[in-house]
């Protein structure tokens, strides 16, 4: 799965610093958001999370696991964190401090899971832009269950969701985080509004590309106003099929979104897509700001390809997920051409320290970046 042999030259573009909005990242290999399902049952991050993230502080920027903006925003998976209570915020503050102490930078990824929620996990009715279920199962406390047909959100509820994103972003920055990434990818609520397959509303939030992009744009605008646009990233996955998602004409949808947010000056656009696709070319041409690319989970992490994209200027930075999950000292390993640890899928969403904070660093290098 991971290219074990490539050694990044010490003058690699990916190893050069890059300004991303308000922060100066020491390199261009960011850590992609990774749900790890180890949070406490009230949505407070795990006591191990500070150590887990601090171990990976060599990343130019860490994007946290997806984090709920309110209690109702949860419910796709068990033991995922939130950032809507003082207790949760307190542990996020410990995480920020631990990452900063190692010289790292970190954004919290904010989500509402929309139709991907199961009431047995969330404790709430499942909501979405329209009453169209995802043809998927959730892993609930009583076993695998089909996702229900969601209830279409009322406009007054949509307005509240915008405010909940704003409040969650405020809490993240108050906790000492460097910023937030708005999760508008992978079939969760904002993506469901963007898609013409999951959004068949006939009001101001459905129909035209501009209307389908409205909620995501309003969230970005509200969060940018609250914490400053230079602390806001946005993740999109145009045409992506995660979460039983379909988009018939992604380019026109994302064109509407990007046109509307172009003038805000946000920190970055994070695109999860195959870089050889036509859609990526179109999206790239539509965005003059900073682009962070994640090539997607079905492809091998090919650092040679990623370096080529960075050198060519197609992307400002890349995000990699599983390679950081399994290699806390990924940057050192790439520089040395050392072998990479293989990620253990059986512990991706397990509980406890195994497969979380016990991936080994290279002997002799442990702690070398803490000095
Ligand atoms: C265990 C796991 C958890 C993930 N959790 C999230 C998440 O919380 N938010 C998100 O946007 N993407 C999530 N993803 C997708 C990753 O960010 C990334 O797009 C994917 O792993 C492909 O990149 P990679 O090949 O570098 O791992 C997750 C992927 C994995 C494997």
Q: Is 258 helix (H, G, I), strand (E, B) or coil?
A: helix
Query: What is the 324 CA–ligand 1 centroid distance (Å)?
Result: 11
The reported pLDDT for the residue numbered 171 is 99
Residue 287: pLDDT over 90: yes
**Rounded to whole angstroms, how far apart are CA atoms 267 and 224?**
10
pLDDT one-digit tens code per residue, 227-269: 999 999 999 999 999 999 999 999 999 999 999 999 999 999 9
188 is catalytic: yes
- The chain-wide mean pLDDT, for the chain, equals 95
Instruction: Give a yes or no: residue 158 inside a domain.
Output: yes
Q: Which DSSP string do the residues of 61-118 spell out, in sequence order?
A: SEEEEEEESSGGG--SSTT--B-SSHHHHHHHHHHHHHHHHTT--EEEEEE--GGG--
Query: What is the 34 CA–ligand 1 centroid distance (Å)?
Result: 5
pLDDT one-digit tens code per residue, 62-100: 999 999 999 999 999 999 999 999 999 999 999 999 999
Domain ranges, residue 172: 13-347
Report residue 7's pLDDT band, with 50, 70 and 90 as the boundaries: confident
In degrees, to the nearest 5, what angle opens at C-alpha 367 toward C-alphas 361 and 368? 100
Q: Hey, which of 3, 29, 32, 241 would you mutate to test ligand 1's pocket, going by the most ligand atoms within 8 Å of its Cβ?
A: 32
pLDDT one-digit tens code per residue, 94-152: 999 999 999 999 999 999 999 999 999 999 999 999 999 999 999 999 999 999 999 99
Instruction: Give a yes or no: residue 248 inside a domain.
Output: yes
Instruction: Give a yes or no: residue 352 inside a domain.
Output: no
Structural tokens at position 360: 């080994």
Report residue 370's pLDDT band, with 50, 70 and 90 as the boundaries: very low
Bridge partner residues of 152 (DSSP): 128
Query: What is the 221 CA–ligand 1 centroid distance (Å)?
Result: 25
Q: What is the CATH number of the domain that holds 281?
A: 3.20.20.70
Looking from the CA of residue 183, the nearest atom of ligand 1 is 11
Bridge partner residues of 2 (DSSP): 301
Number of domains in the chain: 1
Pick the catalytic residue: 52, 188, 254, 324?
188
Query: What is the 322 CA–ligand 1 centroid distance (Å)?
Result: 7
Instruction: Give a yes or no: residue 7 inside a domain.
Output: no
Listed in sequence order, the residues at least 6 apart from 141 whose beta carbon sits closer than 8 Å to its beta carbon are 78, 120, 121
Structural tokens at position 168: 């969650």
Residue nearest to atom 12 of ligand 1 (CA): 33
DSSP strand pairing (23-25 vs 18-20): antiparallel
Residue 161: pLDDT over 70: yes
Instruction: Give a yes or no: residue 219 inside a domain.
Output: yes
How many CB atoms are located within 10 Å of the residue 229 CB?
19
| Ligand 1 proximity of 109 Cβ (cutoff 6 Å) | yes
Residue 299: pLDDT over 90: no
The reported pLDDT for the residue numbered 301 is 84
| Ligand 1 proximity of 281 Cβ (cutoff 6 Å) | no
Residue nearest to atom 2 of ligand 1 (CA): 34
Looking from the CA of residue 272, the nearest atom of ligand 1 is 19
Instruction: Give a yes or no: residue 367 inside a domain.
Output: no
Length of the chain, please?
371
Listed in sequence order, the residues at least 6 apart from 100 whose beta carbon sits closer than 8 Å to its beta carbon are 106, 176
Looking from the CA of residue 109, the nearest atom of ligand 1 is 9
Using H for helix, E for strand and C for coil, what is the string for 219-246?
HHHHHHHHHCHHHEEEEECCCCCCCCCC
Instruction: Give a yes or no: residue 8 inside a domain.
Output: no
Instruction: Give a yes or no: residue 365 inside a domain.
Output: no
**Rounded to whole angstroms, how far apart are CA atoms 208 and 196?**
9
Structural tokens at position 266: 């946000």
pLDDT one-digit tens code per residue, 22-41: 999 999 999 999 999 999 99
Residue 295: pLDDT over 90: yes
Within 116-273, strands assigned E span: 127-128, 137-140, 143-146, 151-152, 179-184, 232-236, 268-272
How many CB atoms are located within 10 Å of the residue 120 CB?
16
pLDDT one-digit tens code per residue, 185-241: 999 999 999 999 999 999 999 999 999 999 999 999 999 999 999 999 999 999 999
Q: Is 183 helix (H, G, I), strand (E, B) or coil?
A: strand
């Amino acid at each position: 799965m991971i290219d074990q042999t490539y050694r990044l030259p010490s003058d690699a573009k990916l190893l050069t610093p890059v300004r991303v909005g308000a922060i100066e990242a020491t390199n261009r290999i960011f850590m992609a958001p990774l749900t790890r399902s180890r949070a406490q049952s009230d949505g407070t991050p795990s006591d191990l999370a500070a150590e887990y993230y601090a171990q990976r502080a060599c990343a130019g920027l860490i994007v946290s696991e997806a984090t709920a903006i309110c209690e109702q925003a949860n419910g796709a998976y068990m033991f995922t964190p939130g950032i809507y209570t003082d207790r949760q915020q307190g542990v996020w503050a410990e995480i920020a401090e631990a990452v900063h102490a190692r010289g790292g930078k970190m954004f919290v990824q904010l989500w509402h899971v929309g139709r991907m929620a199961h009431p047995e996990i969330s404790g709430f009715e499942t909501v979405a832009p329209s009453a169209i279920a995802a043809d998927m199962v959730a892993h609930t406390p009583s076993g695998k269950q089909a996702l229900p047909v969601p209830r279409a959100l009322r406009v007054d509820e949509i307005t509240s969701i915008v405010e909940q994103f704003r409040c969650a972003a405020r809490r993240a920055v108050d906790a000492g985080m460097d910023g937030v990434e708005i999760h508008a990818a992978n079939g969760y609520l904002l993506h469901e509004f963007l898609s013409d397959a999951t959004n068949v509303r006939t009001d101001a939030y459905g129909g035209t590309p501009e209307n389908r992009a409205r909620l995501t744009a309003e969230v970005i605008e509200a969060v940018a106003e609250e914490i400053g646009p230079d602390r806001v990233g946005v993740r999109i996955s145009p045409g992506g099929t995660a979460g039983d998602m379909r988009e018939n004409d992604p380019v026109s949808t994302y064109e509407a979104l990007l046109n509307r947010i172009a003038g805000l000056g946000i920190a970055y656009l994070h695109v999860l897509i195959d870089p050889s696709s036509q859609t990526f070319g179109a999206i790239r041409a539509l965005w003059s700001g900073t682009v962070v690319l994640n090539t997607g989970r079905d492809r091998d992490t090919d650092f040679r390809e990623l370096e080529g994209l960075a050198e060519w200027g197609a992307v400002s930075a890349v995000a990699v997920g599983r390679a950081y999950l399994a290699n806390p000292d990924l940057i050192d390993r790439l520089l040395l051409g050392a072998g990479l640890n293989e990620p253990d899928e059986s512990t991706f969403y397990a509980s406890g320290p195994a497969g979380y904070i016990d991936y080994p660093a290279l002997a002799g290098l442990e702690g070398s970046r803490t000095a």
